[in-house]
Amino acid sequence: MSTRSTPRLRIAIQKSGRLTDNSLDLLARCGLRFSRARDQLVCFGENLPLDILLVRDDDIPGLVQEDACELGIVGQNVIAEKGLALPDGGAAPTEVTALDFGRCRLSIAVPDESVYAGLESIRGRRIATSYPRVLGRWLADRGLAADIVAQAGAVEIAPRLGRADMICDLVSTGATLAANGLREVEVVFESRAAVIRTPVPVAPEKAEWLDRLMQRIEGVQKVDGSKYIMLHAPRAALARITALLPGSEHPTILPLDGTDEKVALHAVCRENVFWETLESLKGAGATSILVLPVEKMLA
């Protein structure tokens, strides 16, 4: 437990935006208790030596890189763009683990009415984007010269304003593109939220908590996609039933009282279990099928 003398860790997360709720939820599920007041910059961890710094997402890689925080949660899109801004040999924060939220893609989109005939249609055109470095590298990798129009926001209106021929912006559902008469033609970068850590070595007393927190984050990630399944199976159908269980190689087989033909099977499935799977299990002879959520897991 935390004591007065334990040095405190800091994790930077987005103050207010698409990643905020998921980031706070992840920390709460790692066992951290904190109270959050409006407009607060720092949330004090009440039961662990860990404080939360609430900032703009764009500032997170810099804060972690400068060691103002040991950890950060931010989109891989931001990590990539800021990482490319570092001078050669500059120490970037290390990405430790990718998370299961904040999924989106950085894509090139063209006005609905314009013809797109593959990469050659990009050559020599003006592309508005808030990700000039990631886009620049993607173009360079393909030997394409184009005119990158760097723009902080509202990229999707650049073609209508005559500032650009196409855009390169984040897409999740595609609704914004559609509303602006644009269509997605190339995916430049796939992204989700990730945990980054300082490139600077961490003092041993802090390192222990840092490792523990990382283990807990990985534990939360694992259980999110996991289910515990219990069923009764005829011995003769065990191989078939086991093959139907998603992501579970070594189930536990237990004897059942009063019968030799049937056994109980317990397994952790590392993927979600859908109704279709249950129906197939039943079809293969399984009975008394129960699917339970997994709350915590430590490998």
Choose the binding region for ligand PRT from 35-43, 109-117, 170-178, 277-285 (rule: CB under 6 A).
170-178
Amino acid identity of 119?
A: L
Choose the binding region for ligand PRT from 73-81, 82-90, 216-224, 253-261 (rule: CB under 6 A).
73-81
> CA angle, 47 as apex, 41 and 48 as ends, to 5°?
75
Q: What is the smallest separation between the CB atom of 196 and Zn ion, expressed in angstroms?
A: 15
Choose the binding region for ligand PRT from 40-48, 135-143, 174-182, 195-203 (rule: CB under 6 A).
174-182
Site map 92..131 versus ligand PRT, x via CB under 6 A: ----------x-x---------------------------
**Quick one: tokens of 210?**
């840092």
Cα 142 versus chain centre, distance: 27
Q: Pick from 172, 138, 137, 180: which is nearest to 155 by CA?
A: 180
Toward ligand PRT, which CB reaches closer, 60 or 122? 60
Torsion region of 173: left, alpha or beta (phi above 0 gives left; psi -120 to 50 gives alpha): alpha
Residue 295, judged by CB atoms within 10 A of its CB (0-12, 13-18, 19+), counts as: exposed
Is 175 among the residues that bind ligand PRT (CB under 6 A)? yes
Contact present, 194 and 75 (Cβ < 8 Å) = yes
72 binds, among Zn ion, ligand PRT, none (CB under 5 to 8 A by kind): none
Is 242 among the residues that bind ligand PRT (CB under 6 A)? no
Contact footprint for ligand PRT (CB under 6 A): 14, 17-19, 56-58, 75, 77-78, 102, 104, 169-176, 191
